[in-house]
Structures are given as structure tokens and as C-alpha cells.
Amino acid sequence: MKKYRMYFVMVINALLRRRTRMAIALMAVAVGATIISGMITVYREIPQQMGREFRAYGANLLILPGKDRTTLSGEDVKKINDSLNGYEIVGIAPFLYERLKINEQPILTSGTDFSMLQKVSPYWQITGSWPQAEKREILLGAEQAQRMNIKPGQTVLVSAGNDADEETFVVSGIVHTGGKEEQFAFVDLALLQKMLQKNGQLSLAQISIVADGAALESVSKMISQNYPEVQPQLVKQIAHSEETVLSKLQALVLLVTVVVLLLTLICVATTMMAVVTERRREIGLKKALGAENSNIICEFLGEGCVLGFFGGILGTGLGYLFAQVVSMNVFGRAVEFAPSIAVFSIVLSIVITGIASLIPVRIATSVEPAIVLRGE
């Protein structure tokens, strides 16, 4: 026990005698550990955080009627929603499509749940306001509104068929998406189901779920197996784009981490080589007094590992703060402290400083006591 305590005292005193050089090495290790810890934390959070960001571009999974079916059951969609309780569901927007007459113009109209639609498709831009479920209000696509020269606040006559009575609706807003939605009209789902006498029926449902490509495929297979009356379909354009962006971001984070590791390695190795050069007389004297190469190796490796340990602890704390700042500024969400990442960063810092000490240690063991002590 005394032997190990003496060894530890020697290592600490050797570090303290060269405060300036060791402080530089300690800061290099701390900076490296900060970047490594922060980047690994960000790397782990990227899929989840970016998955949430991509949900602003719309649904990534559709639920369509199965074979030989023209509509979905609202109950089936509810069961599917309940079966996905282990996933982070942004929203499920139901749709029922039918061609209605609006001011005697045949327009494809969709009944939907506007509260869910705003979660699933937050990119929709509304001039005016969203329709309220308890009112007879309608949302017109920009192309249709321009063609009929209708503005928010005006009224339109809506009919479900040739023999159906016309009903008066107030245009609450005009929707701009840059897509096909601008050619449609939108009303409350329950109201359209009542007008068409299709209670509980849907044309499709859009699901926005925070999941990567593999998880989405798994969800799609699960729905196909458990609900044969429906047909799940991935929105491949969004899913593929999300997967591509995530893979490139993760590759970038890994590249930055590797570069930082190499820079840390070089900085520590350079500092330790300078220390060995300064201590050539000390090393020669120790070897002249009977110290073996293994003793010299253990001493220098011990100094490197102690630097790595304390630098790793300091860098891990700073790395968490770094990841927190990055996540809050880029994603607007906080990250959780991960003990496993902290332990990994400290261990990696010790390993890096140990590797960086190998070349200086080799120089130290090659010192010839007689030559050094003669002043050569």
C-alpha cells in the first residue's frame, strides 16, 4: 500500500513541479474531452432532435384502405393510434375526400380534424384563420380562392350533390402550401361525414411519428400484420430525405471528433516530449541509482494517465454544457446528462494521453546515464 502511495506522490509532485507545461497539457486534454463529450452527446441526440424538426415537413406514414375497400374505419385508425403508444406520435390527421359543389363549382373537398392537421402539417400558411369545428366554416386552397375571387370572411354555398340542399359556409381562411392542397377545400370532418351520411368513415389518415427509417419500416410491418383491413404506406420522399440528412450530420460529427482526438494526441505528445527533454538528467540519475526502464515507463505513463483523468473530468462537465448550448440554439430543446458518455469520455481521455506518452516514454528509456551525467 505504501508503495502505491509513494508512486502516486511521485507522479503528482512531478506534475506540480512543471505547472505551466502540465497546465497546457491539461487544457489540451480538457478541450479535447469537451469536444468529444459534447459531440457524442449531440451525435446521440441528432436522430431524435432532427426527427422532430423533420415533422414540420408533414406526415411520414399514411394509412390507406386495404384491398377491395374504398374507405377506412375511424375505429381502426383509433386502434392503430393506441398500438403506437411506445412511439412519439406528433399527430394523426384523418381525411375524408368528396367532390362538393361550392358556388356551383365542383371542388374536391376534404373533411379533417383541424387541431390534428395543424400538428401534422405545421408548414401550411393560412391567410385568415383556421375553421372552428362548432361553426360552419370552410378553408379554401389558394388556387380555388383566386379562381373564384373569394377572400376570407365571404360566404359560399356548399352542396353535397345535385339533389342536396345548399348550405351557407363562411370562408375562414385561404391555405397556401405550394402543393396540391391549394386546389382543395377543407371543412370539419364530422360536418362532412354528416353531410355525406358517412359517419365514422375516412379516406385516409396521415401519421407524423418521430422515428428513423428502420423504425418506420418496423411500424409499417406491424400495422400490416395486425390490421389487414388497412394498408400502411411510407412517405418515402420525407423518410429518405430525413435518413440522408441524419447520416451526413452524424458522419460530420464523427469526423470532427476524430480530428479533435488527433489534435489532442499531438498536443499532449509534444508537451510530454518537452518534459522528457528537461528531465534527462533526472532520468539518467534514477537509472544510475538502479531504476529500471519499467520504473521509468510506469512513472511517465502514470503522469499521462493522471493528466487524462483530471482533464477528462473537467472536459466532460464542459462538454455537457457545450452540448446543452448547441441543442438549445439549434433545436430549442435541452439534452439530458448521460453518465455512460461521461465515463466513456474520461476513459477515452486517459487512453489518449497514455498513447500520447508512448513516444516520450521511449525517448526516456533510451537515455544513457553515463552520457547524461557527464553533461553530454
Average pLDDT over residues 110-130: 91
- Please say if the pLDDT value at position 31 is more than 90: no
The residue count for the chain: 376
pTM for the whole structure: 0.61
pLDDT for the residue 33: 84
Burial of 259 (0-12, 13-18, 19+ CB in 10 A): exposed
- Please say if the pLDDT value at position 161 is more than 90: no
SS3 130: coil
| 275/285 Cα distance (integer angstroms) | 16
Cβ atoms of 52 and 210 within 8 Å: the answer is: yes
- Would you place residue 203 in the very low, low, confident or very high pLDDT band (cuts 50, 70, 90)? very high
Burial of 28 (0-12, 13-18, 19+ CB in 10 A): buried
- How many other CB atoms sit within 10 Å of the CB of residue 236? 12
Q: Show me where the domains of the chain are located.
A: 2-52+244-373, 59-234
pLDDT for the residue 59: 79
Task: Of 187, 189, 16, 6, give the one whose Cα is nearest residue 107.
Answer: 187
Choice between 357 and 207, residue whose per-residue pLDDT is larger: 207
- Concatenated DSSP letters of 217-255: HHHHHHHHHH-TTEEEEE-HHHHHHHHHHHHHHHHHHHH
Cβ atoms of 319 and 37 within 8 Å: the answer is: yes
Q: Radius of gyration over alpha carbons of the chain, in Å?
A: 34
- Concatenated DSSP letters of 40-59: HHHHHHHHHHHHHHHGGG--
pLDDT in tens, 216-270: 888 889 998 888 889 998 886 665 666 676 777 777 877 887 888 788 778 777 8
pLDDT for the residue 329: 77
- Would you place residue 51 in the very low, low, confident or very high pLDDT band (cuts 50, 70, 90)? low
pLDDT for the residue 188: 93
- Would you place residue 186 in the very low, low, confident or very high pLDDT band (cuts 50, 70, 90)? very high
Average per-residue pLDDT for the chain: 81
292 φ, ψ (degrees, to nearest 5): -90, 165
- Please say if the pLDDT value at position 371 is more than 90: no
DSSP state of 135: S
- Please say if the pLDDT value at position 17 is more than 90: no
- Would you place residue 368 in the very low, low, confident or very high pLDDT band (cuts 50, 70, 90)? low
Cβ atoms of 233 and 64 within 8 Å: the answer is: yes
Choice between 261 and 275, residue whose per-residue pLDDT is larger: 261
- In DSSP terms, 155 is beta-bridged to 170
| 331/126 Cα distance (integer angstroms) | 25
pLDDT in tens, 285-329: 776 767 677 777 777 777 778 888 888 888 888 888 888 887 777
Average pLDDT over residues 126-152: 91
Cβ atoms of 7 and 292 within 8 Å: the answer is: no
- Would you place residue 10 in the very low, low, confident or very high pLDDT band (cuts 50, 70, 90)? low
Q: Which residues contact 105 (CB under 8 A, 6 or more apart)?
A: 144, 147, 148
DSSP state of 374: T
